[in-house]
Amino acid sequence: MRSLLSTSPTAAIHETLAPDAKSLYFELNAEHGPTQEALERSRDFLQNKLKETEGLPCDLPDRMEEWHDWMENGAAQASQQYRDYLHGRRSGQGRRYFGNVSHALYFLNAVAPTKLVDGSWLYGVLQRWDDPRFGDLIRIYLEELGEGLPDKNHVVLYRKLLEKHGCTHWPQLDEAYFTQGTIQLCLAHHAADFLPEVIGFNLGYEQLPLHLLITAYELNELGIDPYYFTLHVTVDNASTGHAQKALKAVFDAMPQAGDRAEFLRRVINGYKLNEIGINTLTAIKSFDITQALLSTFRAKAKVGAAVHSDYCRVGGRTVSDWLAEPERMPDFLAALEDAGWIKRHEAPENSRFWKLISGERAEMFGVFTGYEQQLIRDWIAGDAAQAGATLPRQPSFRAKQRMLEAAADTAGRSRPTYMARGVFRTQQARNRAANDHDDFNADLRLLEAEIAALKDRRKIMSRLVELLSPAVHHTSAGMMATRIFNRMFYT
């Protein structure tokens, strides 16, 4: 899984700002599909990005016969580097990627435009569901969609991760953060004319990178559920996973009568599309906690300037006066420090400002999202967090799960066994059956009736493909369509 998260040193310098990237991203991912004008612009966008790849180096061997060894060697190298990383951590080395929780949440937000279209580049292949040459590519796409199961659908998982931590401001990111996701959506909507590029891009994206392993480890360490990332570690494996299927797909699609050299050239250019855009290290290194905090305060100032009373003065000015000048937020923060409202490099609980925003009964409850609160907390803690002074250690995600299970035991509730889960799921099915006719399920009932009325297999598959688009597959209707398509594809 390379692309936006590639760790290639060449990728970091290829962050061309595509003026059309952000607008195209949202137009191509519109629920009712892109307009013809957007499709035309996206074709030009993709062609321009392919031109950028021509000057990039490529680590693929010249002889295709060596690609299998290249894939296995790459996976082995990443695994060895990860073992070295773990050895260093056990020896006392600090985290390599994330300095604190807010840094990790910043990263989740920064890569959201790409993660929220995960797998999209293969969407255009679905129309070839009856062609055996593209069976592996379709299987990869269906697995990216979790085969219609919400707890396995990659986009659903990432959306939940963002929502849980209040990482809701990704649509306001700069153009550069949308470049890679837009490339993937372009491939999705132009697969018929860029099939070798789709296949090559998929080959690069499905390889196991070192950064994925480290990211999952450090997120877990910081108490953030790493499942989205660990899921990719398992499904992308070089033995039976997406990496192996991606390589096989190259050989399956190789023309028998056409120009094989030209096909291979285009596959390689598609492979190199993974290097266009902001990569993992660039996204991580772009985090500056003070600048991130100032951006948050400036955004809040637009609304906050009109709702504060005048009785509270900081540095001789009312809060409303401060907020009326967003460009002076550095001065406002300094004034809060001088007045003792914020005590930097101490436990945040010692700061009066922190008490205003933290807790259900806090006077400013709900003003800041979970991510923004974490950002403020880590900024206030500063050196105290680094030194471990009086600040509580952040439990890992797994540790939190164990604490919840222990609390359930203490309260006299047994941990869920596999049998109990089965009973629960049976009850869920009964509940769904009892509510089949409520308004929440109306859309699904209409879809079932529509599919049942289509007698021709091709018409059914064509309708299902529409609902498996990058913009729709993570909805209830899309997941139902995925389950139906999945059954029909394998029969």
The more confident residue out of 433 and 375 is: 375
pTM of the predicted model as reported, rounded to 2 decimal places: 0.87
Q: 3-state DSSP helix/strand/coil percent for the chain, to nearest 5?
A: 65, 0, 35
* DSSP label at residue 222: T
- Alpha-carbon dihedral of residues 382, 172, 143, 397, nearest 10 degrees? 20
pLDDT for the residue numbered 258: 84
The mean pLDDT of 461-482, rounded to a whole number, is 97
Distance CA 202, CA 252 (A): 14
- Whether 397 has a pLDDT exceeding 70, the answer reads yes
Q: What is the mean pLDDT of the chain?
A: 87
The mean pLDDT of 225-242, rounded to a whole number, is 84
- Whether 234 has a pLDDT exceeding 90, the answer reads no
Residues in the chain: 491
Q: How confident is the model at residue 432 (pLDDT cuts 50, 70, 90)?
A: low
**HSE toward the beta carbon, residue 354, CA cutoff 13 A:** 19
List, for residues 128-164, the tens digit of each pLDDT value: 999 999 999 999 999 999 999 999 999 999 999 999 9
Residue among 18, 68, 71 nearest 42 (CA):
18
- Whether 344 has a pLDDT exceeding 90, the answer reads yes
What is the share, in percent, of the chain residues with pLDDT greater than 90?
Answer: 70
DSSP H helical segments within 145-288, as ranges? 154-164, 179-189, 195-205, 210-221, 227-235, 242-253, 260-272, 280-285
- Whether 14 has a pLDDT exceeding 60, the answer reads no
What is the share, in percent, of the chain residues with pLDDT greater than 70?
Answer: 84
Distance CA 475, CA 463 (A): 15
230 burial type by CB count under 10 A (0-12 exposed, 13-18 middle, 19+ buried): middle
Three-state secondary structure string covering 80-127: HHHHHHHHHHHCCCCCCCCCCHHHHHHHHHHCHHHHCCCCHHHHHHHH
Q: How confident is the model at residue 236 (pLDDT cuts 50, 70, 90)?
A: low
Most confident of 5-19, 287-301, 426-440: 287-301
Residue 266 and residue 43 in contact, taking contact as beta carbons nearer than 8 Å: no
The mean pLDDT of 76-84, rounded to a whole number, is 96
SS3 389: coil
Q: How confident is the model at residue 436 (pLDDT cuts 50, 70, 90)?
A: low
pLDDT for the residue numbered 6: 41
